A and B are shown apart, each in its own frame.
Chain A
Amino acid sequence: MEEEELVQKKMMFVMRKAPHGTIYSYEGLEVVLITAAYDQDISMAFIDDGVFVLKNDQDTTGIGIKGFMKTYFALEDYEVEKLYACNESLAERGLKKEDLIDVNIQFMNRSEIAKLMEEQEVLFPF
């Protein structure tokens, strides 16, 4: 029997919320992983407070909340390779490239990310 091929859509996860104060960035990541398992064309845009999701040196032991940074290091294994960080959002928050985890991140201006958003078929907010 022929296997039905699932249609592939361009899906972008727009990560705008800070980590840990709310669960959106954590549970949003779970959606990324499942979407990757379904072979969708995935990208992640880190905008506004969402740039802090990629901050290095996160240690959540003191607040007793499970961190998720290990998963970001494994994203390549899931073939999630398009991570975009917003330059203006970083600068507004006092962050530089060196402050982020050492994974493959493309640094882009708002206008470039906006253009990428135009190309998407589905946009998930987390």
Chain B
Amino acid sequence: MLFTVNKSPFTTNNLSSCLEFAGDKDPILLYEDAVLGAQQGSKIESTLKTAMQKNPIYALKEDLDARGIKNIIAGIQVITYDGFVDLVEKHKVNPWL
């Protein structure tokens, strides 16, 4: 299933909680303020790199651009709303709001 995470991982535990529930290979989409988690060099970078060994992590381009985030943690896949739709085609959605 696709976990959609929209809150910043620096102010909420949404992303870390989601990682505890995501099964092997379950994709995780960071969008809205959750894309802050994609910024390189943060205190959660290593957590995300570890998570990516088990779960593909995506970040929504339109939200990254809106927030001026260009240096993305290596391995996070940047997708547009088209890609968001692709993910929904392939997986049922577990909205981790």
Question: In the complex, are there CB atoms of A and B closer than 8 Å?
Answer: yes
A residues in contact (CB < 8 Å) with B: 14, 16, 47-48, 88, 110, 113-115, 117-118, 120-123, 125
Are B95 and A125 in contact, CB atoms less than 8 angstroms apart?
yes
Are A117 and B17 in contact, CB atoms less than 8 angstroms apart?
no
Whose C-beta in chain B lies nearest to the C-beta of A122?
A: B92
Contact string against A for B residues 3-35, beta-carbon threshold 8 Å, 1 for contact and 0 otherwise:
000000000010001001111000000000000
Contacts of A16 in B (CB 8 A): 17, 96-97
Give the CA-CA distance A120 to B94 in the complex, in Å.
10
Interface size on B, residues (CB 8 A): 13
B1 within 8 A of partner (CB): yes
Give the CA-CA distance A79 to B23 in the complex, in Å.
29
Whose C-beta in chain B lies nearest to the C-beta of A113?
A: B21
Rounded to whole Å, the gap between the CB of B56 and the closest CB of chain A is 17
Give the CA-CA distance A48 to B96 in the complex, in Å.
11
